Amino acid sequence: MNIYQRIRFCWSRKKKWIIRLFWLNILIWFWPVLLGHQVYKEIILPHEVSLASYQKPVITYEALPDTIKDTIHFYSYRFGIDENRMIKLIECESKGNPNRIGFEARVNLNSVGLLQFQPVTFYEYAGKYKIRNANIYDYRDQVLIASMMIRDGLIRKWTCGK
């Protein structure tokens, strides 16, 4: 008996078992479907996307205040810091000008914006606080990061905070 005959003989004997295993596998994997249970879905239909957006509220810039004073008030209340302390820090650093760019000779870097962040410091703390797409030129992001820093006791990072 050569190898081909042996394979055919084994196949004919075990054919019934293979067919039974196949149907058993089908039954196991599709049992929830046969009973009407909901199974995991990878495909999200377009009408389900709108339902998912209602489940998790997302804070966007449209929901945030649009003036500097309202932004300071919003983040001060949210992080539990003194609003007057933040206003004094902003007045000392940039005189309330969100477009101010200062130059610091001792480190040869430009300080930017409302709170005069240096780019290295700003992006370091944006990464630490997991703020994605932070923009150093946006006063909202600067007030957000500064509020978190003040909450954590890092007000001494600013020259006016000492």
pLDDT digits (tens, 9 = 90+) for 53-104: 444 444 555 556 778 888 899 889 888 999 999 999 999 888 888 888 876 6
Q: Which long-range contacts (CB under 8 A, 24 or more apart) does 148-151 make?
A: 148/79, 149/125, 150/79, 150/81, 150/85, 150/86, 150/89, 151/79, 151/80, 151/81
Give the angle 20-26-28 at the CA atoms, nearest 5°.
100
Q: Is the pLDDT of residue 49 over 80?
A: no
Task: Assess contact for 113 and 44: CB atoms under 8 A.
Answer: no
Which CATH fold topology does 68-161 show? Lysozyme (1.10.530)
* Residue 114, token pair as written in the block: 């409302």
Q: What is the pLDDT of residue 58?
A: 47
Distance CA 75, CA 148 (A): 9
% of the chain with per-residue pLDDT over 90: 11
Q: What is the pLDDT of residue 55?
A: 47
Q: What is the pLDDT of residue 24?
A: 74
